[in-house]
């Protein structure tokens, strides 16, 4: 009897041995002694398997980091960092598949189909911690930009993923550095900064009007 | 001529790295570039002022340079911080303004994030720290130059867990390349001469990043030194240590500065000073290898008034062909024999084969003076390190020598760097302690005639 796990396992084994997806579901099912119907009961296509695997990586990471004793002591920034470290630690055990899966994606600006589930889970997680960060005043609430915070983190995730794929330092130490430095910078941008103060000052001047008059010293 | 300009070109030519590594060589080099520019600017400021006021001395310039260099170094971690620490130890080489600023860098470094610490444990032990220790504090209690220290507890024992910053080893070599043009400016040596010394420094620094080696050595040294009175070492736990993590007992106690604030009595100061003296001289003369990082942060004064030694990251081994000529010079009998003294100087490359008779005479006289100063504590059976006169003479001599054109060119074998740093570091700490110590406890082994 086929299960989600057994199909995933067989699929990973196939793509890593052959270097490509099976020609058809029929061939794949036959090779693994199941019916096509059994396959379709769980997945609609090969890409759906990959999508499911990626979503699983994120879900597993989140469950794992939340189970750590220190989780409750972390602030929002640390929770975010914790996801990145946990995620890439987890990917290590499936590195060959990850490299295969990422490399075959066309280089486009839109999110490839197989990452959509991952993106949803990741963004939900980010929204949670951004909300927390704003509540505790760790991050600055900027009307139109706050909604974009999660996008910045997604860009970082894609960046680090590519970085990790090309990382050949022992123990992927460079990736750790990229996370420690890069993600911290992203979170720095969410914090209250001089720009916010400048905006506030601008708003104050606008509201308290009379800018034109007060600028001209030469009035009588 | 202006070396910082070369550096700008270099960073412009490496756009590939800039794309792939967020904060690496390029950004670090940019950091050094701006400092290089500032230092250059300080020189311009100084010389333009000097045009109008020929009597201006270099104090202001030195202060400007020191604060710019310090500001830039304190924003960098790892080896740059280490170099700063190193320069701060060599008070004899640097004017006062540099050292005051640099000694600040011995204390601050921005901490690692909690998640990275958890990640480091998962990587090396497959477990999070709370699964390894009964208690583990993710907030670090203090910074070590290439890592940070955390408090933990296991089976009722308080532990100190040292964790290394990632990527330190990699950045050492590139950092040193960046430091070079500066060091060369600061010390006034040519780059080629500096190379031999830089290599020695690089070797030691790279050793320091190997925590497995450090644990092995810490155990070896603490066992070898276990017979010394009033010196204690933490216990190390190899099974709880790895390439990037060291677990050892937590030593309770005060750092030197805090200890001095408690106004310790003279006899207590002597006791601690004696511990230090014995610790170093036992290593030098019996083990022929020394804990070569005598900055005050590596020592604790425990509640029962013993000297606690932490951090065996930096060990300098002294080969026989260095030890014998160098320490024999501490013997007055040898020093009175000019021919044998010159032989020793030649072996130590303080006098070069190509030197003219006039040069030989000059270096003989100057080095003899320098070494007799250094050897003063060894002459009698005790020495009062509290007296400022000795130190003023020492620094004064250092400053004088650093201005002599004859010393523009570097002399002396590479082993001097760490041996000098250690001994001057030791003298400095003893001076701060104002300790009077018995100096005949572990005597140098001397040879009075060379083959």
Please check whether residue A168 touches B, CB under 8 A: no
Three-state DSSP state, A16: helix
- For A174, which residue in chain B has the nearest alpha carbon? B167
In a domain, B317, yes or no: yes
How many domains does the structure of chain B reveal? 3
Within a domain: B400: yes
| B306 and B261 part of one domain | yes
Is A220 near chain B, with CB under 8 Å?
A: no
- Do B270 and B418 lie in one domain? The reply is yes
Same domain, B114 and B104: no
- Residue whose token pair is 């794309």: B19
Model confidence pLDDT, tens digit, residues A138-167: 888 887 788 889 999 999 999 999 999 999
pLDDT score of A108: 73
Residues 137 through 166 of chain B touching chain A, CB cutoff 8 Å: 138, 166
Shortest CA distance from B164: residue in chain A: A173
Average pLDDT, chain A: 88
Position B96 scores a pLDDT of 42
What are B56-60's contacts with CB under 8 Å, separation 24+?
B58/B95, B59/B95, B59/B97
Query: Which of A52-61, A186-195, B174-183, B397-406 shows the lowest mean pLDDT across its residues?
Result: B174-183
Whether B77 is covered by a domain: the verdict is yes
Write the DSSP symbol of residue A191. Answer: S
User: B6-47, pLDDT tens digit by residue?
Assistant: 322 333 333 333 333 334 444 444 444 444 444 444 444 444
Task: Find the domain containing B375 and state its range.
Answer: 252-451
SS3 B148: strand
Whether B179 is in a domain gets the answer: no
Q: Where does a domain end: B214, B235, B250?
A: B250
Nearest by CB to A85, from B20, B22, B116: name it.
Answer: B116
Same structural domain for residues B47 and B128?
no
Q: What is the pLDDT of residues B411-429, one digit of tens each?
A: 778 888 788 778 888 888 8
Residue B445 lies in a domain: yes
What's the pLDDT score for residue B182?
A: 64
Closest CB to B119 among A77, A89, A178: A89
Q: Which of B134, B133, B132, B136 is nearest to B151 (CA)?
A: B136
* Min Cα–Cα distance to chain B from A141, Å: 24
pLDDT at B83 over 60: no
B385-398 pLDDT tens trace:
998 888 888 777 77
Determine the straight-line distance between the first and last CA of chain B, rounded to whole angstroms.
Answer: 45
Sheet holding B231-232, edge to edge: B231-232, B307-309, B299-301, B254-255
A89, A174, A184: residue with CB nearest B167: A174
* DSSP reduced 3-state for B246: strand
Q: What is the DSSP letter of B236?
A: B
Average pLDDT, chain B: 76
Same domain for B135 and B271: no
Tell me if B114 and A169 make a contact (CB, 8 A cut-off): no
Which of A77-86, B17-26, B38-47, B312-321 shows the highest mean pLDDT? A77-86
Q: Are residues B124 and B54 in the same domain?
A: no
> Is residue B178 domain-resident?
no
Position with higher pLDDT, B3 vs B448: B448
Better pLDDT: B213 or B96: B213
Cα of B104 to nearest chain A Cα, Å: 24
């Amino acid at each position: 009897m086929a299960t989600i796990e057994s199909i995933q396992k067989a699929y990973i084994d196939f793509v890593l041995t052959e270097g490509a997806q099976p020609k058809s579901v029929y061939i794949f099912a036959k090779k693994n002694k199941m019916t096509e119907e059994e396959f379709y009961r769980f997945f609609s296509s090969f890409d759906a398997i990959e999508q499911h695997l990626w979503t699983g990586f994120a879900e597993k990471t989140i469950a794992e980091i939340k189970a750590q004793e220190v989780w409750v002591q972390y602030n929002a920034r640390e929770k975010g960092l914790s996801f990145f470290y946990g995620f890439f630690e987890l990917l290590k055990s499936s590195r060959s598949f990850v490299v295969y899966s990422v490399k075959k994606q066309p280089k486009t600006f839109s999110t490839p189909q197989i990452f959509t589930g991952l993106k949803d889970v990741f963004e939900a997680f980010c929204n949670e911690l951004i909300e927390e960060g704003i509540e505790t005043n760790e991050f600055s609430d900027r009307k139109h930009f706050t909604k974009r915070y999660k996008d910045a983190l997604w860009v970082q995730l894609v960046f680090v993923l590519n970085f990790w794929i090309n990382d050949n330092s022992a123990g992927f130490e460079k990736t750790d550095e990229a996370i420690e430095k890069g993600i911290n910078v992203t979170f720095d941008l969410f914090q209250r900064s001089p720009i916010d103060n400048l905006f506030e000052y601008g708003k104050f001047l606008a509201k308290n009007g009379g800018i034109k008059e007060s600028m001209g010293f030469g009035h009588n | 001529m202006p070396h910082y300009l070369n550096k700008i070109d270099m960073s412009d030519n490496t756009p590939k790295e800039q794309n792939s590594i967020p904060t690496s060589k390029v950004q670090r080099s940019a950091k050094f570039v701006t400092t290089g520019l500032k230092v250059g600017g300080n020189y311009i400021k100084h010389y333009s002022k000097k045009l109008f006021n020929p009597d201006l001395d270099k104090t202001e310039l030195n202060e400007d340079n020191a604060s710019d260099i310090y500001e830039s170094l304190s924003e960098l971690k790892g080896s740059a911080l280490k170099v700063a620490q190193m320069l701060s130890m060599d008070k004899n080489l640097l004017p006062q303004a540099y050292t005051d600023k640099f000694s600040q860098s011995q204390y601050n470094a921005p901490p690692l994030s909690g998640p990275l610490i958890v990640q480091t444990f998962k990587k090396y032990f497959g477990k999070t720290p709370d699964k390894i220790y009964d208690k583990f504090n993710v907030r670090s209690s203090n910074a070590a130059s290439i890592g940070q220290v955390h408090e933990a507890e296991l089976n009722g024992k308080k532990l100190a867990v040292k964790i290394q910053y990632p990527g330190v080893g990699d950045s050492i070599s590139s950092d040193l390349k960046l430091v070079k043009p500066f060091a060369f400016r600061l010390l006034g040596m040519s780059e080629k001469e500096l190379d031999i010394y830089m290599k020695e420094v690089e070797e030691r620094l790279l050793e320091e990043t190997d925590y497995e080696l450090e644990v092995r050595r810490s155990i070896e040294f603490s066992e070898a030194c276990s017979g010394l009175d009033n010196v204690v070492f933490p216990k190390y736990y190899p099974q709880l240590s790895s390439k990037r993590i060291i677990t050892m007992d937590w030593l309770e106690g005060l750092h030197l500065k805090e200890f001095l604030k408690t106004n310790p009595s003279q006899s207590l100061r002597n006791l601690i000073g004696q511990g230090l003296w014995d610790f170093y001289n036992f290593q030098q003369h019996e083990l022929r290898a020394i804990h070569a990082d005598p900055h005050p942060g590596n020592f604790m004064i425990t509640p029962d008034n013993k000297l606690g030694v932490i951090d065996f990251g930096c060990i300098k081994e002294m080969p026989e062909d260095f030890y014998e000529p160098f320490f024999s010079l501490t013997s007055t009998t040898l020093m009175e024999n000019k021919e044998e003294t010159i032989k020793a100087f030649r072996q130590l490359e303080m006098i070069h084969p190509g030197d003219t008779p006039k040069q030989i005479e000059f270096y003989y006289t100057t080095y003899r003076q320098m070494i007799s100063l250094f050897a003063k504590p060894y002459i009698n059976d005790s020495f009062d390190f509290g007296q400022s006169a000795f130190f003023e003479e020492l620094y004064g001599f250092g400053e004088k020598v650093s201005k002599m054109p004859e010393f523009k060119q570097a002399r002396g074998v590479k082993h001097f760097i760490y041996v000098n740093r250690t001994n001057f570091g030791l003298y400095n700490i003893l001076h701060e302690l104002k300790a009077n110590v018995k100096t005949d406890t572990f005597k140098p082994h001397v040879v009075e005639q060379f083959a």
